[in-house]
Structure 1
Amino acid sequence: MSNRISPGRVSPGRAVTRVVDSDPLGGTVRRTVLPSGLRVLTEAIPAMRSVSFGIWVAVGSRDETGSQAGVSHFLEHLLFKGTRKRSALDISAAIEAVGGETNAFTTKEYTCYYARVLDQDLPLAIDVMCDLVADSVLAAADVETERGVILEEIAMHDDEPGDEVHDLLARAVYGDHPLGRLISGTEETVSPMSRRQIQSFYRCRYTAPSIVIAAAGNLDHAEVVKLVRQALAGTSLDGEPAAPAPLRPAETRVRTSRPDSLVEHKETEQAHVVLGCPGIGRLDDRRFALGVLNNVLGGGMSSRLFQEIRERRGLAYSVYSYSSQYADTGLFAVYAGCAPGKVDEVLQLVRAELAEVAAHGVTDAELARGKGMAKGSYVLNLEDTGSRMSRLAKGELLFGDLLPVDELLARVDTVSADEVNTLAADLLARPMSLAVVGPFDGDDFSIARG
């Protein structure tokens, strides 16, 4: 059975701890809910000599209004710039002095701040990371400095057509919905963003019930909880008793745009094309079948798309399929990078392969291979403390359910050909949007073409 995580009742002044899982491939997972509603999950792996420690906040770019676009990412930068106790140099020097590393990233639905250190230096990492997340000063001078850095980052991203094309597809599929926007924001939204806007977002969104702290490695759960409580004492995250925030609601369907064709003209030697459509949400029971289907279509060198487009015809160096899942929707897409003169042929082949699988399904051999790839990927991705830490946080924050590894593998094993084929008939027959970056004009492509 899976371990369904429930917020439960929170007793003022008392933390509630329980064992969530005991994994033969890792260690014992424990979960404590602090009186403030903040959650702490750990996986003790005594064989490791390191610990990965992460603070995950249930807020991302989809939570921003149009004028706020990019504020989550802006804030991610600023939290490393200094607190009441530490300067930016103090933060980086403290961790680097013990050979550790820190970083952060922003997604459309959550933001993560993390550190990886030797086990003996975990108390330092907890103190530094909790300090920067809970007590950043957001100095006006730092806002201006990081504004320039972020604008350079946006410009650098625009110089990477292989990355830009995926953002273009999101806009084609989701239109004006926040899921269709750039996580970084744009020059038009970042340039006028004020310190007051950023600070208001910080105080409203970075609350204890919305935060999950996860750690994996050679650690003791009770000690981690004690150190976290000490580090957060007297900060905004040490507030009144509350229950953990519920999962992001998934009952509201995201309105997607009508199938669209978006072209970004750039004088590149290679054209970058992505064909995609709305997919399924992350809590959809069909997600395991989707993982298998994705592997069959474009998940590796043995996949249909790779074999047909690269191996047999030599039309593209890179071709693959992928899926993204959110609380209430998803995205399925196929990417190819090829010479501009070969775009039409590549698109025709991609559409033909998708239509073939939609109409006739996958073979037994493909099903077995797709399931094997999925299981191998799950297990191999848990070979370090960082991925173990991420598993804990995502299970709590995104699924409300930490599936033991053995159960996860069993769920993949039970995927049937009928499930995959039924999903393929639905998903791959949906109207597709197209994104292209290369030496083309907008009227060079249309959805009707192909």
Structure 2
Amino acid sequence: MLRSLQVRQQLVKFSQQCYTTQAVAATSGSSTKLSVLPSGLRVASTNENAPVAQLALLVNSGSRDESQSNLGITHCLQCTAGLTGSRNTAFLTTQLLSSLGADLQVTAGREHTLYSVRCNPHDAQKVFTDVVAPTILGAKFPWYEINDVTSRMKYQKAVATSDPCFTLMETAHKASFKGSLSNSVMSPDFMIGHHTSEMLQAKFNASYNLSNMVLSGSGVSHDGLIDIGSACNGAEGSATQRAASQFIGGEVHVGDPTPLVHAALTFEGVALNDKDAVALSVLQYALGVTGNIRRGSGLNHGSLNPAVEKSTDGVFSTNAFSVNYSDTGLFGIYVVSPQESINAVLQAVSAECKKVASNGLSDAAVNGAKERFKAAVLMNAECMSKTVQDMAVQSSVLGTIASPSSIVALIDGVSAADVAGVARRVLTGKRGLATVGRGSDGPFLRDL
């Protein structure tokens, strides 16, 4: 079955993203293997005895790699997955996947486009080499099928933008960055329906080469995955070279009829391979994040909620987040509150961030944050689909794979002084503000 999913939302439960976003260069785990084929394709494998084969082909290209002339091309490429290619028609691709009991999903983000496949381990090589690889690497983008993609793009954007969390994160990137990272993962309205076959083919030729890809998987032996990768026929090329994005710390306010105001106070974070990546994530958990237990008391942990509770009698929610990219990051506090109390809530959040940057955190607070962070890493590792995706991202950005145990060891090595240092580095820098809701009377960045 072929499913072209909506572009991956950037604001999700960050406690479930830790394996990817907080991993730094470390030794590979004993069950994880990484190889580079002569074609330049990187192959990563783990847990070859899994009952279901899960494969992911990551293309090192996303919305931040778009120019002003082809904005939204990544979203359009994601929607064209499964169209007629050099080997199979769109109908035949769907029928072959269905007959083999396989499922293909396509997600696109700011730095990567991911093609994920689930199937029976015994059929993995046939599914990938006969159906998936020709669909991805042999795409032809016929104009008569491209015209039909417009309605799909509009539908995906309508679904995504109906979620204020998604809109807020897109707005936060627009407010915080100058350059490529400010590009939305969704195509702007004025470009939907204007991506031609020639534009898609040019983007495909520039990015879809094997040296710019990673093949990761579970449920298949490493040698079997190498055979699958060796059978892929892709064009020669080089890895994507990106221009750096600059954190500018602006503010953007989006009007929305929602009864609640969603706001994000943002700071410049750190890159995925930065030495402070783990310490910053400990700071994130010390400030407070959504817990892993449904209907649990995860938000009672951390310093933000108690500080805000003293300043308002209204309902509110806070959640610290950290998104790491290949060259920079976005750190911030996500706040939800009714319009009448949003100013007080954001004032309290801003004051608490300044306090932490100035005074640091106690050893007890840091140790508690480390335990919650480790729990999130280990819980995330239990989901094989996330693990396969994380291996692909780490292989692409870091050139190595950090096992959960190695990340736990890095977390144990973080001290209160390390957290205080990264708090001063991040929380005293430029700030950005994004809001979604009825916020005509503020808040404004100058008031915080």
Q: Does 1:79 align with 2:91?
A: no
Counterpart AA for 1:413: D
> 2:175 corresponds to which residue?
172
Residues 63-110 of structure 1, C-alpha deviations (whole Å, 9 max, x = no match): 110121111121121122232332333333333444432211111111
Counterpart AA for 2:112: Y
Counterpart contact for 1:126–1:228, Cα < 8 Å: no
Counterpart contact for 1:289–1:423, Cα < 8 Å: yes
> 1:254 corresponds to which residue?
245
Note the 1:319-358 alignment, pairs <5 A: 319-358=318-357
> 1:17 corresponds to which residue?
none
Residue 181 (structure 1) aligned to one of 183, 188, 210: 183
Residues 343-362 of structure 1, C-alpha deviations (whole Å, 9 max, x = no match): 11111111111111111111
For 2:170 and 2:260, locate their aligned partners in 1 and report how far apart those are by CA, in whole Å: 18
> 1:50 corresponds to which residue?
52
- The answer for unaligned runs of 5 or more in structure 1 is 6-19
Note the 1:76-225 alignment, pairs <5 A: 76-127=78-129, 128-175=131-178, 177-217=179-219, 219-225=220-226
Residue 223 to residue 160, structure 1, CA distance change in 2 (3 Å): closer
RMSD: 2.5
SS at match of 1:137: coil
Cα deviation, residue 198, structure 1: 1.0
Counterpart contact for 1:395–1:401, Cα < 8 Å: yes
For 2:60 and 2:214, locate their aligned partners in 1 and report how far apart those are by CA, in whole Å: 8
Which has the bigger relative contact order, CA under 8 A and spacing at least 6? 2
SS at match of 2:218: strand
Query: Could you tell me the percent identity over the aligned residues?
Result: 21
**TM-score, normalization by structure 2:** 0.86
Matched residues, number: 416
SS at match of 2:247: coil
Counterpart AA for 1:290: L
Q: Does 1:34 align with 2:37?
A: yes
Counterpart contact for 1:54–1:112, Cα < 8 Å: yes
Counterpart contact for 2:307–2:349, Cα < 8 Å: no
> 2:254 corresponds to which residue?
264
> 1:433 corresponds to which residue?
432
Counterpart AA for 1:388: T
Cα deviation, residue 323, structure 1: 1.0
Residues 290-316 of structure 1, C-alpha deviations (whole Å, 9 max, x = no match): 010000112242122234446995634
Counterpart contact for 1:310–1:318, Cα < 8 Å: no
Q: Does 1:281 align with 2:271?
A: yes
**TM-score, normalization by structure 1:** 0.86
Rg larger in structure: 1
Residue 311 to residue 101, structure 1, CA distance change in 2 (3 Å): farther
For 2:335 and 2:34, locate their aligned partners in 1 and report how far apart those are by CA, in whole Å: 43
> 2:402 corresponds to which residue?
403
Counterpart contact for 1:165–1:437, Cα < 8 Å: yes
Cα deviation, residue 190, structure 1: 2.8
Counterpart AA for 1:446: F
Counterpart AA for 1:164: T
- The answer for unaligned runs of 5 or more in structure 2 is 1-22, 291-298
For 1:76 and 1:369, locate their aligned partners in 2 and report how far apart those are by CA, in whole Å: 41
For 1:178 and 1:329, locate their aligned partners in 2 and report how far apart those are by CA, in whole Å: 12
Cα deviation, residue 202, structure 1: 0.6
Cα deviation, residue 44, structure 1: 3.8
Residue 210 to residue 311, structure 1, CA distance change in 2 (3 Å): farther
Counterpart contact for 2:52–2:119, Cα < 8 Å: yes
